[in-house]
Amino acid sequence: MYRPAYALLVGTATVMGVLAVVAAITLDRRLVDPEGFLGPSWARLPLLVPGAFLLDMLPRTLWVSRLNPALMPGIVKDRVRDHWTRERMTLVVMGPVCFYITYVSYRNLKSFLPFIMGEEKYDRELHLMDRALFLGHEPATVLHAIFGTGPSAHVLSSIYLWFLPLVPLALAARLVWSRNITFGYWFATSQCLAWTLGTASYYALPTLGPGFQYSYLYKDLPGTGSGALMDSLYYARKGVIRDGIEGAVQSVAGFASLHVAITLLVALMVQYTLRSRLVHIVFWVNFAITVVATLYFGWHYIADDIAGVAIALVSFWLGGSASGQKFDRGGLASHPTSTTSKVPVDAD
C-alpha cells in the first residue's frame, strides 16, 4: 500500500512547517511566501492542478469526440470515472499542499540561516577541495576554457534556469498523469524529502558558494539570466541581513545543491516510471548540463553537487520504499507492489 508514503509526505510537511514557525517566533521574524515562476507559491501551485485537469480533459475530449459536441459530455464523464477517482483527487490535493508547506518552510528556514548560524562559513575549505580535485586549478577557469564564455554561457544559463518551472510542472504531471497512483506518491514524497534534507544540509555546512565568495573568478562571463539571478540574490541577501528589509527572503546557501538533487530526482523518476528512451535521454542530459552549470557560473562547489546527488538518491529510495516500490536488478529497475482500486500493479 502507499499509505506509508502518505504518512511520510504529511509528516515531512508538518515537521518543516513546525520548524519554520518555531524559527520565525524565536527570531521575531515573519514568515514570507516567496514569489517565483507564475507568481506566489500560494497561487501558483493550486492553479497548476485545475490547469492540469483542463490539459488532461480538453485535448482528449476534442480529439475523441472529433469536435462533435453531443459526444463530449460522455467522454468527460468516462474520463472522470476512470481516472479522476477519489484516490486520485486525494493525491492531487495533498501532493501540492504538502509540497507548498515544505517548499515555503524551506525558503524561510534558508532565509533564517544567517540569523541562526551566524557569519561562520566553510567556503574556504570547500574552495580548497575544488582546487585539489582540479590539480591546483580553479574549476571555473577550466570550465570557461573548455566551454568558452560566448553562446555556451547563454545555453547553460537557460538550462540552469529551466529548473524554476521544472519543479512545479514535474510535480503536477506526476500527480495527474501517473497511471499507477503509487508513482505520484513516490515523486511527491521524494520531492518533499529532498527539500527537507537540503534545508538540513544548509545548517550542517553553511556556505555562500564560489560565485558570491570568489566573484572575481566569474568576471569574464557575459550577461546572462543566471548572472542576473545571482545579482538579485546578492542584493536581496544584503537587504534582509544588513538593511532589515521585511517581507523578503535571502536565498543564498551553497551546500548542498538542490538544483542537482531535484534534476537528478526527476531524471530517476523518469527512468524508473516511463518507457520512452527519448524522454530518459532528455532528462539525463538536463541533469548533466545542470551539474556543469552549477560549477561554470559559481553557484556551487563540487562537494555541493556530490551532496546533492546523495540527497536525491536517499530521497528517491525512501519515497519509493514508502510508496510500495520494489527495486530489482541491483537497483537498476523497479516495479510497484501496491496499487489502487482501479489500476493494476503492472500498469505504466
Burial 48-65 (b: 16+ CB within 10 A, else e): bbeebbeeebeeebeeeb
For the cut 60, the answer to whether the pLDDT of residue 335 exceeds it is no
For the cut 50, the answer to whether the pLDDT of residue 38 exceeds it is no
pLDDT, position 347: 41
Split at pLDDT 50, 70, 90, the class of 207 is: very high
For the cut 90, the answer to whether the pLDDT of residue 201 exceeds it is yes
pLDDT, position 30: 87
For the cut 80, the answer to whether the pLDDT of residue 132 exceeds it is yes
pLDDT tens digit sequence for 74-90: 888 888 888 888 888 88
- The structural domains of the chain, with segments of one domain joined by +, span 3-336
| DSSP code for 286 | H
DSSP secondary structure of 142-198: HHHHHH-SSHHHHHHHHHHHTHHHHHHHHHHHHHHH-SSHHHHHHHHHHHHHHHHHH
Q: Which amino acid is located at 117 in the chain?
A: M
CA 120 to chain centre: 27
For the cut 80, the answer to whether the pLDDT of residue 330 exceeds it is no
For the cut 60, the answer to whether the pLDDT of residue 20 exceeds it is yes
DSSP secondary structure of 171-183: HHHHHHH-SSHHH
Average pLDDT, the chain: 86
Residue, of 88 and 120, whose pLDDT is higher:
88
| Least confident residue range of 204-213, 304-313, 320-329 | 320-329
Please give the model's pTM, rounded to 2 decimal places: 0.86
Sign of CA dihedral 290, 293, 298, 302: positive
pLDDT, position 180: 84
Mean pLDDT of 272-276: 88
pLDDT, position 52: 72
Tell me the CB-side half-sphere exposure of residue 212, using CA atoms within 13 A.
Answer: 23
pLDDT above 70 covers a percentage of the chain that reads 89
- What distance in Å separates the CA atoms of residue 188 and residue 91, rounded to the nearest whole number? 9
* Cell numbers placing 174: 506526476
Split at pLDDT 50, 70, 90, the class of 63 is: confident
Tell me the CB-side half-sphere exposure of residue 269, using CA atoms within 13 A.
Answer: 30
Of 29, 164, 36, nearest to 109 (Cα)? 29
Split at pLDDT 50, 70, 90, the class of 195 is: very high
